Structure 1
Amino acid sequence: MALDVRLIAGPLSASAELEAFLAGRTGDGAVVSFTGLARGVARDGSVVDALRLDWYPGLTEGSMHDIAVAAAARFPVRDLVVAHRCGDIVPGETIVFVAAAAAHRRAAFEAADYLMDRLKTEAAFWKYETGPAGGRWIEPVDEDRAAVARWKDEAP
């Protein structure tokens, strides 16, 4: 079982990440990946010019690693990758890439879904959007909390 968890302060190429994750893979029946992009429109419909993801060295990476370890323990996956941006991001750029490899598709889908639900609500990032109307801090919303709560209700 390999866990690859990285915090990246520059551009993140989802295609390069996926290509590297797939390289030489012959024993798995399924690979599921997810790419999260920075949006140019906020939840309220206002324009977003940039997103800043603040982090605290060590704490942020540790929170990401703990989430990946929990996913690996919960689902029968062979490998996981979590690559997450920090710093300044403009709309259209990749924020996060996750991938899960497993013998069968269900485990890979569930592991990737679990990773994203927990990363969105629990990883130690502080999100700040800026646009023509000014700036604001972004917090998880009820929909995000409900998504992660369902994993607590389901048996591993």
Structure 2
Amino acid sequence: MRRARPRRRSSARGASPVSRPGARAYSERVDSAGTTNDRDTVINQVTTAPLDLAAHVVAVSTGSCGAVVTFIGQVRDHDPDAAGPVTGLDYSAHPDAGRILSEIVARVSREFPEVNLAVSHRIGHLDVGDLALVAAAASAHRAVAFEACERLVETVKLEVPIWKKQYEVDGSTAWVGLT
């Protein structure tokens, strides 16, 4: 005898695929004029919550997308300038980081109008292996999806005011990645 599968609760129209405390997610894409277009839900957030790659893939995927490109930036256990192994990072952000991230997504979306984008950057304390940055780009074809994802990640890393304090195994700390 087969058991009936429980019904999935449907979310309210426009509800975000991410529903974690502290997460800021945007359920509609907004163009430069402040109006929404017909693209599917995107994730665009600076958050203290753990990042979910699968949610980003779902947010950008549509029936017309033949390619989904993802990027994960995770905390590593070493740094060439560290005296010893790295144990974690504290990410902190300027209060405008979320707004700047949104502006970057809008700009990259204008440059690649055929690509759906999603991106999240985590702040707070992260241990080795934790996800710090997740991005996804989906399009009908892979070349443009790869290009858009790379542009998104590189621009986020360059322009979003997020800093990291590195912790080493000996207890020492250093601010890294400052330019």
Q: Secondary structure at the match of 1:109?
A: helix
Distance apart, 1:111 and its partner CA: 0.7
Structure 2 Cα separation of the partners of residues 66 and 133 of structure 1 = 37
The 5 A counterparts of 1:41-56 are: 41-44=78-81, 46-56=84-94
More strand per residue: 1
1:92 has 2:138 as partner: no
How many angstroms does 1:102 deviate by?
Answer: 1.2
Change (3 A) 1:7 1:110: same
**Which secondary structure state, in structure 1, belongs to the residue aligned with residue 105 of structure 2?**
helix
Q: After TM superposition, which residue ranges in structure 1, 4 or more long, deviate above 4 angstroms?
A: none
In structure 1, stretches of 5+ residues that fail to align are: 142-156
Residues in 2 aligned to 1:22 and 1:72: alpha-carbon distance in whole angstroms: 12
What residue in structure 1 maps to residue 56 of structure 2? Answer: 17
Residue in 2 that maps onto 1:39:
76
Q: CA deviation at 1:140?
A: 5.3
Give 3-state SS (helix, strand or coil) of 2:125's partner: strand
- Greater relative contact order (Cα 8 A, min sep 6): structure 1 or 2? 1
- Cα distance in 1, alignment partners of residues 105 and 60 from structure 2: 19
Gaps of 5+ in 2: 1-38
What's 2:29 paired with?
A: none
Per-residue deviation at 1:43?
2.7
Describe the SS at the equivalent of 2:49: coil
In the alignment, structure 1 residue 6 sits paired with structure 2 residue 45? yes
Considering only CA atoms, is the larger Rg found in Structure 1 or Structure 2? 2
Q: Give the number of equivalent residue pairs.
A: 138
Q: What's 1:75 paired with? A: 112
Q: 1:124 to 1:21 in 2, by over 3 A?
A: same
Is residue 76–residue 107 contact of structure 1 (8 Å, CA) maintained in 2?
A: no
Instruction: Confirm or deny: 8 A CA contact 1:76 1:102 kept in the other structure.
Output: no
Give the number of the structure whose residues are more often helix, by fraction: 1
For the aligned residue pairs, the C-alpha RMSD in angstroms reads: 1.9
Does the residue aligned with 2:128 lie in a helix, a strand or coil? coil
> Secondary structure, in 3 states, of the residue corresponding to 1:83?
strand
TM-score (norm: length of structure 2): 0.69
1:107 is matched with 144
